Structure 1
Amino acid sequence: MERAARVRDYLNGLPSPVDAVVVTEDITDHGLVEDYEIARGAMRDDAPTVVCPGNHGSRPEFRKVLLDHPGRDGRAGPVNQALRVDGLAILLCDSSIPGRHDGHLDDKTIDWLESKLARAAGPVFVGMHRPPIALGLPSVDAIRLNHPERLEQVLRRHDQVKAAMVGHAHTAASALFAGLALVVAPGVVSTLMMPGELVLPEEWSEDDALDFERPPAFTLHVSDGERLVSHTRVVR
């Protein structure tokens, strides 16, 4: 929590306030109510904040604590969210598969995204937790978004989509997907190092590649409605 609070305080202390805070990374390890309550306290930003579920979360607890409702039908369907800020829309898709670490955009989510994009009058940024492409990080690439072509087909049909934002990788990165900028948010709690940056044992896990000593980081996005410019900052 201390590291997340440092990022929050940095953002809240900026001379020019940000318009919105978009959280695409995991905010819990076990998906417990107590975990989400701690995360909510650490994310008390002065700007509107929107969060998408990660691979360590739980939809019912996410809804109960962060959205203050259990879901209309009492079940744990996808948590898709939209936020409008100064003429642009941020659409966050739930790519989680309950009980698994890899991701998928189910039919409900694809239909929701298609519907929102069809009605969007201005620029749109689409986000989710898992990247739709391989990033050169073996442990993350093994649990990235499945069937990314479903997402690509939707994005290519709508010119108002200007960029895609994801988390999951614990490191800042950028690439192209569906002809758009794909921006990967850095990690707050830890940084995942690339295999070429480390001397790893023959049998290694993600824990061996995680660096908890590097400072927390986040990305500041600036948009003129046509393009997205992203600046990564570390908070010491």
Structure 2
Amino acid sequence: MWIAQISDPHLRPEGLFYNGVLDPAAALTMAVAQINRLVPRPDLVLLTGDVAETGSAEEYALARRLLGRLAMPCLAIPGNHDLREPFRDAFAETPRQGPLHYAAGQHGAVRVVALDVTVPGKHHGEADAGALAWLRATLAEEPARPTIVMLHQPPIDSGIPYLDAYNCRGAGPLEAVIRDFPAVERVLCGHVHRGMTQRFGGTLLCTAPSLATAIALRPYPEAEPASWLEPPGFLLHHWNGQAMLTHAVPLGVFPGPYGFA
């Protein structure tokens, strides 16, 4: 099973730029086209949050139109820039009330468990007691099935001070739940606009780069917040029946292919 992971498109109403420097609709359009061209074609796309920049109905309508061009299903979770109610209206798989937790096992061998750790009105995330209880009960329904847990804010430190102020709080109890279920093959996050990997709860946690700008890699205490217009990208996860392999894929059209390797 092949699973593409995109993150943080920060869509604006059509024609408006993200922070004045990038057309997020063009970036998402390119990502959709590139994923559709992949061979083998992915079975599923995951979108790990910050679909919209302000949470407006226009932004979600644009998201549904662009994501509707995918040749495969797309599962999304909210980020700190999303608003729960319009997000709920835009994505049919999300529950009709409460936090936007859900599980989806109908798309292939790997089950996807979406954990909504957003805190309305705040930029940090929190794995609170209710979210942890839901996650434990949901993982226990199919404890031996290969599973991805996706959430927006990562429950780890990057070493970049202006990122770590807004990570997912409650990391210790969350890690304990994940550790109790060895079939969790990946914990997938967005939010940091950078690709990172770290062991977490006995498995591997990965963050996907943003389809918008990249947050500057400044891992020192006095760092000032900054971003770069770096090449965007996405992650491609492959479950071969025994293990999961993750590839980092740059977004774009490049010279080649050449007849050597």
TM-score tier (shorter): 0.7 to 0.9
| Aligned positions, number | 224
1:210 matched to 2:227: yes
Give 1:70 shift. Answer: 8.0
CA distance in 2, matches of 1:68, 1:82: 9
Gapped runs of 5+ residues in structure 2? 1-24, 253-261
1:134 matched to 2:121: no
1:109 matched to 2:131: yes
Q: 1:216 to 1:7 in 2, by over 3 A?
A: same
Q: Kindly provide the amino acid, as one letter, of the partner of residue 210 in structure 1.
A: S
Q: 1:162 to 1:99 in 2, by over 3 A?
A: same
Task: Please provide the CA RMSD for this pair.
Answer: 2.0
Q: Report the TM-score when normalising by structure 2.
A: 0.80
Q: Report the TM-score when normalising by structure 1.
A: 0.88
Paired residues of 1:64 and 1:70 also in contact (CA < 8 A): no
Q: 1:176 to 1:203 in 2, by over 3 A?
A: closer
Percent same amino acid among aligned pairs? Answer: 29
For residue 146 of structure 1, what is the aligned residue in structure 2? 169
For residue 231 of structure 1, what is the aligned residue in structure 2? 247
For residue 178 of structure 1, what is the aligned residue in structure 2? 201
Q: 1:106 to 1:123 in 2, by over 3 A?
A: same
Q: 1:195 to 1:82 in 2, by over 3 A?
A: same
Bigger helix fraction: 1
CA distance in 2, matches of 1:118, 1:23: 24
Paired residues of 2:158 and 2:219 also in contact (CA < 8 A): no
Paired residues of 1:36 and 1:61 also in contact (CA < 8 A): yes
Q: Kindly provide the amino acid, as one letter, of the partner of residue 166 in structure 1.
A: C
Q: Equivalent residues in 2 for 1:77-116 (5 A)?
A: 77-84=98-105, 85-116=107-138
Tell me the secondary structure at the aligned position of residue 103 of structure 2: strand
| Deviation string, structure 1 residues 176-217 (Cα, Å, up to 9, x no partner) | 1112111111110111121169xxxx7833xxx2112x2221
Q: Kindly provide the amino acid, as one letter, of the partner of residue 219 in structure 1.
A: L
Gapped runs of 5+ residues in structure 1? none
Q: 1:226 to 1:125 in 2, by over 3 A?
A: farther
Paired residues of 1:50 and 1:81 also in contact (CA < 8 A): no
RCO higher in structure (CA 8 A, sep ≥6) = 2
CA distance in 1, matches of 2:216, 2:61: 29
